[in-house]
């Protein structure tokens, strides 16, 4: 199963996926490209580090979504790789119908909460400020409903009395780095079946 990774930032989740791949822990899953909507994003530097093609794709004029033209360019770039799966790992833009219809049930997203709780931005802070005793991370299929697609897997983490937002954020990131590669392996196994 071939997959692409799309992200907007430092790429810590992409790096966890790529490390798992290099160690032979992704089974039949192979990364074929990394794309980012930010030309200076660290995630693009991971391409050279891991030997995976990495490219900036212009997102257009909006900060939180793609225009119809840029969405078509993303779809075209992904299709050119022959990818079976699109992994959103810190991609900070909402995608719409054209993108979703091009890859039905082939786009997954990592979200730093136990969905359906705390959708949208700043999910870790939302959970911490609300005072829940458990939060965590979720991998789900992407649909037109923001952070609302079918859930593939979750990891729950207790918020301890001595946790700060920063210490809890680090715990969530550690869980994300384990969960996302595990889900990719399971999807690759199902793809081969």
Provide CB contacts within 8 A for 155, sequence distance 6+.
136, 137, 175, 176, 178, 179
Residue 42, both tokens: 């660290």
Residue positions annotated with a catalytic role: 111
Q: How many CB atoms neighbour CB 143 within 10 A?
A: 16
**What backbone torsions phi and psi does residue 26 show, to the nearest 5 degrees?**
-100, 10
> Element (H or E) spanning 186, and its range?
helix 165-192
Q: Which of 90, 107, 110, 84 is nearest to 180 (CA)?
A: 110
Q: Which of 6, 30, 161 is nearest to 94 (CA)?
A: 6
Sign of CA dihedral 155, 150, 89, 49: positive
Q: Is the dihedral of CA 147, 34, 22, 184 positive or negative?
A: positive
């Amino acid at each position: 199963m071939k997959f692409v990774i799309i992200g907007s930032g430092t790429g810590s989740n992409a790096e966890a996926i790529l490390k798992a791949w290099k160690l032979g822990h992704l089974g039949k899953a192979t990364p074929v490209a990394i794309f980012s909507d930010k030309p200076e994003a660290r995630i693009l530097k991971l391409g050279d580090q891991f030997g995976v093609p990495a490219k900036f794709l212009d997102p257009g004029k909006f900060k939180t979504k793609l225009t119809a033209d840029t969405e078509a360019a993303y779809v075209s770039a992904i299709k050119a790789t022959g990818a079976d799966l699109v992994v959103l790992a810190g991609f900070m833009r909402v995608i719409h119908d054209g993108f979703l219809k091009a890859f039905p049930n082939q786009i997954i997203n990592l979200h730093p909460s136990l969905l359906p709780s705390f959708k949208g931005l700043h999910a870790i802070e939302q959970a911490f400020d609300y005072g829940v005793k458990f939060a965590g991370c979720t991998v789900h299929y992407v649909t037109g409903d923001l952070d609302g697609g079918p859930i593939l897997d979750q990891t729950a983490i207790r918020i301890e009395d001595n946790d700060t937002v920063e210490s809890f954020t680090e715990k969530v990131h550690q869980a994300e780095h384990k969960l996302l590669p595990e889900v990719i392996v399971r999807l690759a196994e199902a793809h081969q079946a």
